[in-house]
Amino acid sequence: MDTNVVHALIEIPLGSKNKYELNEEDGRIYLDRVLYASMIYPAEYGFVENTLAPDGDPLDILVICTEPTFPGCMVPARVLGCLSMVDNGALDYKLIAVVDCDPHYDHVHALDDLNPFLLKEIANFFTNYKVLQGIKVEVGQYIKGDDAFQIIDECRQRYLDAKAEEAVKAILEGEVK
């Protein structure tokens, strides 16, 4: 497998208005809400496991594909870059990737290989998808290749640090036998 490939756990399929979220406690996927706007997700949407983004959630990922998958599907995703955002006051990143095993995207290895209009659609989606909820989202710039992988590495390290902190806290509180 290519080193640019991560495994994305899909929560929301391409074309859905439903916002699903994985409950880490019971492992089930729940319908969190239906989008307020008359918009649909422009790509598969999920997260990269064992990461912790600056907003306190796993690192989000959009996976561009030919056909929708389903909530809970694990997808090999070739990362091209990411979109920086501030969502409700918190720094947020959305990785942009293509399905690694889809021959329609064999030629796509960088953001510049994508149709520029698709990148505009993605930015427009995130600019507007929470407007009717009264939540302000500021969409920043697309971040290319190596800089996106730096963000992935930082999110993986943040996750490990948080898990280590939880373990130390549990030991100190006598929760671990």
Which CATH number belongs to the domain containing residue 67 in this structure?
Answer: 3.90.80.10
State how many domains the chain has: 1
Higher per-residue pLDDT: 37 or 158: 158
CA atoms within 13 Å, Cβ hemisphere of 124 = 10
Instruction: Answer whether residue 22 is part of any domain.
Output: yes
Instruction: Answer whether residue 40 is part of any domain.
Output: yes
Banded model confidence at residue 5, pLDDT cuts 50, 70, 90:
very high
Instruction: Answer whether residue 128 is part of any domain.
Output: yes
Contact 111, 119 (CB under 8 A): yes
Contact 95, 61 (CB under 8 A): yes
Instruction: Answer whether residue 55 is part of any domain.
Output: yes
Give me the chain's average pLDDT, please: 94
Phi, psi of 107 (to 5 degrees): -85, -5
CA distance 116 to 6: 23
Residue 80 φ/ψ region, left for φ over 0, alpha for ψ in the -120 to 50 degree band, beta for the rest: alpha
Q: Name the pTM for this structure.
A: 0.92
Instruction: Answer whether residue 177 is part of any domain.
Output: no
Banded model confidence at residue 61, pLDDT cuts 50, 70, 90:
very high
Helix (H) or strand (E) holding 172: helix 145-172
Q: Give me the domain span that covers residue 97.
A: 5-172
Instruction: Answer whether residue 64 is part of any domain.
Output: yes
Say how many residues make up the chain. Answer: 177
In 3D space, the residue among 76, 70, 77, 112 whose CA is nearest the CA of residue 94 turns out to be 77
Tokens of 114: 């994508």
